[in-house]
């Protein structure tokens, strides 16, 4: 009797083991992506940066064929919307300015995906709902001409520009409503409005664009500018230009996120590409081409951010840019 019971028990154990080993193993993300065989990226990065990332991805995952469409952030947004309305879903991954990615999210064109790499990105630089993570940053800063401004007279805060000595010597980039919206976040709306009105009374030179503002600063047309990008100033400085950026902390920082398309035809390959772009290796590639990495542990080439406090511009405030831009132009008397 005991022998029969033992035999029955052994049979049951062997049967259970057989059933367990017969259960198919779940495919890994890479295996699922390999089955899909391709991935499509829409991006506003410049062509050279996209090609560098795509080539490196292809080298790491040779069985997956990557392709891309490159355009401005606005055109990337419009293409994604137009295709979705037509019922054509071609894109897997999108990288663009925060404003446009936020509009895609609100239009239901992105989906939640939080890769392991997300842990290396600070709060504010990733969507609280898990739809996007910042690929690279743009630091909006003041800057001054080092040949026209003595070291002991350099501005440290935005409010310093209201001193009488700066009258007629300031450059303002009006094509930057996001800056004004973030000043309102920092100062409060009424104080920010008062600051802009006082700045307008300083009779500044008005320009449209971060690049042209920084270039004219280097040329000596302005002693100081209120809002340009730190990496542009750093590049001009590296080329011998007499300019220096000023970090008024927390530094207003614009985000350019990456997101997974809601109806991605190759979702697993899309996840793999998104993870690659956000990885330390992908971020170093962008860093080496002059971008400011979103990855917390990858330092930019142009300056150190180890001790600099940043505040991410919230893409959720994008709908305020239109009214803010109109108010800015009205305050400075620009058409």
CATH number at residue 206: 3.40.190.10
The verdict on 216 and 326 lying in the same domain is yes
The verdict on 235 and 147 lying in the same domain is yes
In whole angstroms, give the CA distance from residue 328 to residue 193. Answer: 9
108: left (phi over 0), alpha (psi -120 to 50) or beta: left
Domain containing 93: what range? 29-137+255-301
The verdict on 231 and 272 lying in the same domain is no
Cα–chain-centroid distance for residue 30?
Answer: 26
The verdict on 40 and 131 lying in the same domain is yes
pTM of the predicted protein model: 0.87
Query: What is the domain count for the chain?
Result: 2
Please check whether residue 265 lies inside any domain of the structure: yes
One-letter-per-residue 3-state SS of the chain = CHHHHHHHHHHHHHHHHHHHHHCCCCCCHHHHHHHHCEEEEEECCCHHHHHHHHHHHHHHCCCCEEEEEECCHHHHHHHHHHHHHCCCCCCCEEECCHHHHHHHHHCCCEECCCCHHHHHCCCCCECCCCCEEEEEEEEEEEEEECCCCCHHHCCCCHHHHHCHHHCCCEEEECCCHHHHHHHHHHHCHHHHHHHHHHHHCCCCEEECCHHHHHHHHHCCCCCEEEEEEHHHHHHHHHCCCCEEEECCCCEEEEEEEEEEECCCCCHHHHHHHHHHHHCHHHHHHHHHCCCEECCCCCCCCCCCCCCCCEEECCHHHHHHHHHHHHHHHHHCCCC
Residue 122 pLDDT grade (very low, low, confident, very high; cuts 50, 70, 90): very high
For residue 23, the model assigns a pLDDT of 47
Q: Flag whether pLDDT at 285 surpasses 60.
A: yes
The verdict on 124 and 165 lying in the same domain is no
In whole angstroms, give the CA distance from residue 260 to residue 110. Answer: 6
In whole angstroms, give the CA distance from residue 231 to residue 245. Answer: 9
Q: Is the peptide bond before 250 cis (omega within 30 degrees of 0)?
A: yes
Please check whether residue 216 lies inside any domain of the structure: yes
In whole angstroms, give the CA distance from residue 121 to residue 127. Answer: 11
Of 222, 201, 96, 86, the residue nearest 147 (C-alpha): 222
Share of the chain above pLDDT 90, in %: 89
Please check whether residue 17 lies inside any domain of the structure: no
Q: Residue count of the chain, please give it.
A: 335
List of residues 6+ apart from 184 with CB closer than 8 A: 192, 193, 324
Of 71, 89, 64, 46, the residue nearest 260 (C-alpha): 89
Please check whether residue 183 lies inside any domain of the structure: yes
Please check whether residue 102 lies inside any domain of the structure: yes
Of 208, 179, 204, the residue nearest 192 (C-alpha): 179
For 191-249, write each residue's pLDDT tens digit: 999 999 999 999 999 999 999 999 999 999 999 999 999 999 999 999 999 999 999 99
Residue bearing tokens 């902390």 = 249
Share of the chain above pLDDT 70, in %: 93
The verdict on 123 and 272 lying in the same domain is yes
In whole angstroms, give the CA distance from residue 73 to residue 190. Answer: 31
Please check whether residue 59 lies inside any domain of the structure: yes
For 44-54, write each residue's pLDDT tens digit: 999 999 999 99
The verdict on 56 and 156 lying in the same domain is no
The mean-pLDDT minimum among 8-12, 138-142, 315-319, 326-330 falls in: 8-12
In whole angstroms, give the CA distance from residue 9 to residue 82. Answer: 64
Other residues' Cβ atoms within 10 Å of the Cβ of residue 273: 27
Q: Measured at the alpha carbon of residue 315, what is the angle toward residues 90 and 207, in degrees to the nearest 5? A: 105
For 10-60, write each residue's pLDDT tens digit: 455 455 554 445 445 678 999 999 999 999 999 999 999 999 999 999 999
The verdict on 41 and 183 lying in the same domain is no
Please check whether residue 276 lies inside any domain of the structure: yes
CB distance 264 to 92 below 8 Å: yes
The verdict on 129 and 46 lying in the same domain is yes
């Amino acid at each position: 009797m005991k022998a029969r019971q033992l035999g029955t028990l052994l049979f049951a154990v062997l049967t259970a083991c057989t059933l367990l080993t017969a259960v198919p193993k779940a495919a890994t993300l890479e295996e699922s992506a390999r089955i899909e065989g391709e991935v499509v990226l829409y991006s506003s990065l410049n062509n050279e940066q996209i090609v560098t990332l795509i080539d490196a991805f292809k080298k790491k995952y040779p069985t997956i064929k990557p392709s891309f469409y490159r355009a401005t952030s606005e055109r990337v947004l419009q293409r994604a919307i137009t295709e979705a309305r037509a019922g054509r879903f071609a894109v897997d991954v999108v990288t663009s300015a925060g404003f446009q990615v936020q509009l895609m999210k609100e239009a239901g064109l992105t989906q939640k995906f939080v890769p392991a790499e997300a842990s290396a990105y600070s709060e504010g630089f990733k969507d609280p709902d898990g739809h996007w993570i910042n690929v690279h940053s743009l630091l909006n800063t003041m800057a001054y001409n080092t040949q026209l401004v003595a070291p002991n007279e350099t501005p440290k805060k935005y409010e310093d520009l209201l001193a009488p000595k700066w009258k007629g010597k300031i450059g303002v980039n009006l094509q930057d409503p996001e800056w004004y919206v973030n000043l309102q976040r920092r100062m409060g709306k009424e104080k920010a409005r008062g600051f802009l009105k006082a700045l307008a009374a300083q009779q500044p030179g008005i320009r449209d664009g971060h690049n042209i503002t920084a270039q004219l600063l280097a040329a000596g047309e302005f002693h100081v500018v209120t809002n340009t990008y730190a990496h542009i100033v750093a590049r001009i400085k590296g080329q011998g230009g007499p300019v220096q950026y000023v970090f008024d902390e927390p530094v207003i920082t614009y985000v350019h996120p990456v997101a997974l398309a809601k109806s991605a035809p190759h979702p697993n390959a899309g996840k793999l590409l998104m993870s690659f772009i956000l990885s330390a290796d992908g971020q170093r590639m962008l860093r080496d081409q002059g971008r400011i990495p979103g990855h917390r542990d990858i330092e930019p080439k142009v300056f150190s951010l180890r001790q600099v406090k940043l505040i991410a511009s919230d893409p959720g405030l994008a709908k305020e840019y239109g009214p803010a831009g109109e108010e800015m132009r009205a305050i400075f008397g620009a058409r």
